[in-house]
Amino acid sequence: MDFSSLIQTIAVYALPVVFAITLHEAAHGYAARLLGDNTAYMMGRVSFNPMRHIDPLGTIAIPLLLYFMTGGAFMFGYAKPVPVAFRNLRNPRWGSLWVALAGPACNFVQALLWALIGVALAYFSVDEPFFSRMAAGGVGVNLVLGVLNLFPLPPLDGGRVLVALLPPRQAIGLARLEPWGFAIVMVLVISGLLTKIWLRPLVSLGYDALTAILAPFASFLN
């Protein structure tokens, strides 16, 4: 990839990646506040301002590095984690489930919004590849991030959801995997298993869902 193409790719993906990762964290804090824990709010983290959540390494450097190392096949990143005191939630067990789901849900909403932008660009005949690529990138980045975080292994959001759903003994056993969860996920990513059995089929399902949701809207515009 030549230097100009590299700069253009960074420009295209920078905004979708920053918003996908930082608003994911903001959603956790917002859900926690609604459910009884003000920790993130008191620390100024219940905010949709990305600057409050950006981690230079996890939000910018790592996603771009993984993107170029895998030829765009995989992207992962993180923002500064939003602090949540689960014991403060009105119902710690079920509250933790909804707090965990808030992040991926925010990503799927963002994917829908980027898709709507893509439809609007086509409708208004905006023939600018940069904006079209950004809209498509926003859809892809948010679907991948949302699906990846739903993988049922702590400390990912899906793992926290599963811990809340399991009986106490099984939940405690799964929670004990949290210190090694990230390493396990990375091994599954490098081996290609996570992409094959989880990311690819569920991201494809996400695209199908977006197509179905947007079909009436696209038909109306046509």
Q: Which residue has the higher pLDDT, 9 or 196?
A: 196
Count how many domains the chain has.
1
> In the block, which residue shows the tokens 């992207």?
75
* pLDDT reported for residue 39: 93
CA distance 174 to 152: 10
The DSSP element (H or E) to which 212 belongs, if any, is helix 200-221
pLDDT average, residue stretch 182-197 = 87
CA distance 72 to 1: 12
* pLDDT reported for residue 57: 81
* pLDDT reported for residue 122: 86
* pLDDT reported for residue 71: 62
For residues 25 and 79, the answer to whether their CB atoms sit within 8 Å is yes
CA distance 113 to 44: 26
Q: Is 159 left (phi over 0), alpha (psi -120 to 50) or beta?
A: alpha
Position 192 confidence tier, pLDDT thresholds 50, 70, 90 = confident
CA distance 75 to 36: 33
For residues 155 and 164, the answer to whether their CB atoms sit within 8 Å is no
For residues 111 and 143, the answer to whether their CB atoms sit within 8 Å is yes
CA distance 54 to 60: 8
Min mean pLDDT across 38-52, 55-69, 138-152 is at 55-69
Indicate the pTM of the whole model: 0.89
Position 2 confidence tier, pLDDT thresholds 50, 70, 90 = low
Structural domain range at position 45: 3-221
Two structure tokens written together for 57:
């390494």
The per-residue pLDDT for range 4-43, each reduced to its tens digit, is 776 787 788 889 988 998 899 999 999 999 999 999 888 8
Q: Is 120 helix (H, G, I), strand (E, B) or coil?
A: helix
The per-residue pLDDT for range 75-118, each reduced to its tens digit, is 667 778 889 999 999 999 999 999 999 999 999 999 999 999 99
CA distance 25 to 50: 10
